[in-house]
């Protein structure tokens, strides 16, 4: 079984939480792409995003993704990583299994209620959120090797499903 995987999915899908559960089970460590970027920037993504905008952030995200896909471990990506075609290509062509944590928008909205750390969430209403999810869902699917539906299950159960699917492959 592999010791490296990449987790993709919408904000609130549980990528960081599930990554933290998976890493010890795979005898490896977890890296969060957003945390890597924040260390490199020396500020929060929210601050950078507000000052420089999404396009500039996505360029930096691509550079970080290229570096991190070559590292061993569980990589939890940011929710918007699939927005750039280049990133989807990097994920699809990488040697690591890419796992899409697919969560329906209604459940995501419940999970994210009151979260003020998500720049895009602050800029849209419920309908806008659902439209963004509908736009991104096929992009996640394009980049993914494995899709795990996370609705109604906890992070431990998601991690177990991922391990089982990796063992089957």
Compute the distance between CA of residue 127 and CA of residue 25 in angstroms, rounded to an integer: 38
Q: Say if residue 136 carries a ligand binding annotation.
A: yes
pLDDT in tens, 10-66: 988 999 999 999 999 999 999 999 999 999 999 999 899 889 998 999 999 999 999
20: Cβ contacts below 8 Å, ≥ 6 apart: 30, 155
Tell the burial category of 53 from Cβ atoms under 10 Å away from its Cβ (0-12, 13-18, 19+).
exposed
Q: Say if residue 51 carries a ligand binding annotation.
A: no
By DSSP bridging, strand 146-149 and strand 98-102 are: parallel
pLDDT in tens, 73-101: 999 999 999 999 999 999 999 999 999 99
Q: Is the pTM of this model over 0.75?
A: yes
Structural domains in the chain plus CATH codes: 5-168 (3.40.50.300)
Q: Say if residue 34 carries a ligand binding annotation.
A: yes
Q: Say if residue 28 carries a ligand binding annotation.
A: no
């Amino acid at each position: 079984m592999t010791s490296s995987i990449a987790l993709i999915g919408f904000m609130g899908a549980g990528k960081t939480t599930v990554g933290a559960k998976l890493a010890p089970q795979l005898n490896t460590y977890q890296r969060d792409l957003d945390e890597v970027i924040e260390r490199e920037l020396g500020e929060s993504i929210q601050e950078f995003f507000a000052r420089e905008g999404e396009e500039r952030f996505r360029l930096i995200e691509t550079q970080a993704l290229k570096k991190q896909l070559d590292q061993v471990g569980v990589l939890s990506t940011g929710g918007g990583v699939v927005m750039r075609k280049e990133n989807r290509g990097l994920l699809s062509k990488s040697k690591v299994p890419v796992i899409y944590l697919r969560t329906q928008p209604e459940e995501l909205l419940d999970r994210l209620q009151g979260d003020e750390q998500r720049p895009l969430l602050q800029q849209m209403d419920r309908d806008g959120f659902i439209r963004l999810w509908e736009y991104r869902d096929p992009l996640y699917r394009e980049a993914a090797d494995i899709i795990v539906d996370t609705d109604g299950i906890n992070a431990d159960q998601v991690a177990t499903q991922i391990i089982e699917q990796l063992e089957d492959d």
